Amino acid sequence: MTGGYLKGRMRREDIITAAIEVYREAGYNGSSLREVAKRAGITHAGLLYYFPTKEALLAAVLERRDAEDTEREKLDIAPGIDLLRHLIALAEYNVAHRGIVEVYARLAAEAVAPGHPAHEYFIRHYRIARESALATFRTLAANGELRPGVDPEAAAVAFIAMEDGLQVQWLTTPDEIDLVGSLRFYLQSLLTVPLG
């Protein structure tokens, strides 16, 4: 009988979902276990039965994100122009789900401080993102699809920066910024072939 365990696992997921919602509104530092617990329908002491500290809950939130990312990568798109198209599709998804963008933009800004509990996570996150972008730009260069003079290393850093920066501007003034259009335009400017 795994019934009890199953229920516990589901409860944990509910708490994580509630936490993401609260982080989105208040950031991690500004959030409280009591608010997260209330939205999950338990007391804050009950929450601490599942996640022994505030940090443990944050770790679980970031773990879920990694799990989702891993799942998406199961699509197993090869580096190259198709991956760029996939990233644009992902940006479209994000625009329709403002919440997740807000959570990670706020967390990333909080976590620049070396002591922050998510600091190491974001160091790793950026490293992986840059490496993935680098592989793609190198492939494009090899295929003659990268505009001459565009250095793959520099483009990788710049592309991640562009994604992050557009998100903050878009979150601040959603009506004035076309996130997907801007991203597409930027990527197209690096290429010799149409993104489509």
Contacts with DNA by CB under 7 A lie at: 7, 11, 31-35, 37, 41-46, 48-49, 52-55
16-53 burial code (b ≥16 CB/10 A, e <16): bebbbbbbbeebbeebebebbbeebebeeeebbebbee
By CB under 8 A, residue 154 contacts a second copy: yes
45 binding partner (options DNA, a second copy, none; Cβ < 5 to 8 Å by kind): DNA
Q: How far is the CB of 23 from DNA (least distance, A)?
A: 11
By CB under 8 A, residue 152 contacts a second copy: no
61 binding partner (options DNA, a second copy, none; Cβ < 5 to 8 Å by kind): none
Nearest in space to 24 (alpha carbons), one of 130, 110, 91: 110
By CB under 8 A, residue 166 contacts a second copy: yes
**What residue ranges in the chain does DSSP mark as E strands?**
none
By CB under 8 A, residue 176 contacts a second copy: yes
Q: How far is the CB of 15 from a second copy (least distance, A)?
A: 22
Give, in order, the Cα–Cα distances in Å from 129 to each of 103, 132, 133, 172.
18, 5, 6, 24
Q: Are 97 and 103 in contact (CB under 8 A)?
A: no
112 binding partner (options DNA, a second copy, none; Cβ < 5 to 8 Å by kind): a second copy
Binding site for a second copy (CB under 8 A): 25-27, 29-30, 102, 105-106, 108-113, 119, 122-123, 126-127, 149-151, 154, 157-158, 160-166, 168-169, 171-173, 176-177, 181-182, 185-186, 189
